[in-house]
Amino acid sequence: MQKRKLGNSTLEVSALGLGCMGMSFSYGLPPDKQAMISVIRAAVEKGVTFFDTAEVYGPYTNEELVGEALAPLRSQVVIATKFGFNLHPDGKPGWTGLNSRPEHIKQAVEGSLKRLQTDVIDLYYQHRVDPEVPIEDVAGAVKDLIGEGKVKHFGLSEAGAQTIRRAHAVQPVAALQSEYSLWWRRPEAEIIPTLEELGIGLVPYSPLGKGFLTGKIDENTKLDATDFRNTLPRFTPEARKANLALVDLLGRIAQRKNATPAQIALAWLLAQKPWLAPIPGTTKLARLEENLSAAAVELTAEDLREIESAASQIPIEGDRYPEHIEKMTGR
């Protein structure tokens, strides 16, 4: 597995990381914990060094899983986690609001360190921008944690260009985590040029469109009642049917390249910028192997032009999130 530097930071990670959220949270009933530990450890064996979690996933259980899986391999890996929500006191899934007050961040880091069974977090993201707390205060709090040796690098998630600039002026931002894929390209307008200018890495989450770009989902696919995709406008049966045009495009290229639609979607992302490291998630060993093989798929300039030209003709149906969640994207 090739390595990539996230922007101008010293943070080097595998070209493809592993998003661990779905191992405990969001996509229906959580799978068996021991099976998930096996998948995480198999990823390390296959060269993955970059693992992503957050305190809100579960809540807490995903950090515990990642901590247990990676404890014996800690020196070989980069662990990213996130703060920024008030969580239910009884441990119920979900959150009760945003909270990036400095005192809350300093409390949250202690819990994450304990659950992750580590004495330092490699990359600590603000999960969503908190409009009630100046981003300078957030960056200052993480700067303090870096000074104390509890955190190595500061990250933001779904922040806008203004917020990124203001935070970066207080404490250099190593990476921005945002959704980016062939079916969510909004970061190309303002975010990616800002990151390039400032030397900040990009970590695309949902690089396979929450599973849609794998080609395994159509308008008739039945999702588990607890699967959060049931709440997404882009996953209504009508939107899924319309959006299959994009999957068909990936399928055509995949056939020519002796690859899968998922591998083409990931190879396309990897070809965008050398300082970008996607974090596809999976709970299955076979899918892990498929995703990681995308790093070996070479798309020529002509392939990329063809994808660009065809994709620009395909309107994507449905918003990616309900309005109340989309509003949590920073400015």
Q: What is the pLDDT of residues 11-67, one digit of tens each?
A: 999 999 999 999 998 887 788 999 999 999 999 999 999 999 999 999 999 999 999
C-alpha angle 300-306-309 in degrees, rounded to nearest 5: 140
Q: How far apart are CA 316 and CA 245, in angstroms?
A: 9
Cα separation values, 284 from 43, 57, 163, 190, Å = 11, 19, 36, 35
Q: Is 57 a catalytic residue?
A: yes
Q: Check: CB of residue 97 under 8 Å from CB of residue 56.
A: no
Q: Are strands 3-5 and 12-14 parallel, antiparallel or unpaired?
A: antiparallel
**Per-residue pLDDT, 28:** 75
- CA angle 160/213/58 to nearest 5° reads 65
Backbone angles phi, psi at 221, to 5 degrees: -65, 130
- Rounded distance, CA 274 to CA 260, Å? 22
The 3-state secondary structure of 220-233, one letter per residue: CCCCCCCEHHHHCH
Q: Please list the ranges in the chain whose pLDDT falls under 50.
A: none
Q: Could you tell me the domains of the chain?
A: 3-208+264-297 (3.20.20.100)
Neighbours of 194 (CB within 10 A): 18
Q: Can you tell me whether residue 150 is helix, strand or coil?
A: coil
Phi and psi (nearest 5°) for 256? -65, -30
**Residue 302 near residue 40, CB atoms below 8 Å:** no
The answer to whether the pTM exceeds 0.95 is yes
CB 205 within 8 A of CB 178: yes
Q: How does strand 95-98 pair with strand 85-87?
A: antiparallel
Tell me whether residue 304 is exposed, middle or buried, using C-beta atoms within 10 angstroms of its C-beta: 0 to 12, 13 to 18, 19 or more: middle
For residues 9 and 280, the answer to whether their CB atoms sit within 8 Å is: no
Q: CA 270: distance to chain centroid?
A: 14
**What's residue 264's pLDDT?**
98
Count the alpha carbons within 13 Å of 306 in the hemisphere toward its beta carbon: 12
Q: Are 58 and 92 in contact (CB under 8 A)?
A: no
- Do residues 46 and 292 lie in contact, with contact meaning Cβ atoms separated by under 8 Å? yes
Q: Which of 57, 125, 180, 205 is labelled catalytic? A: 57
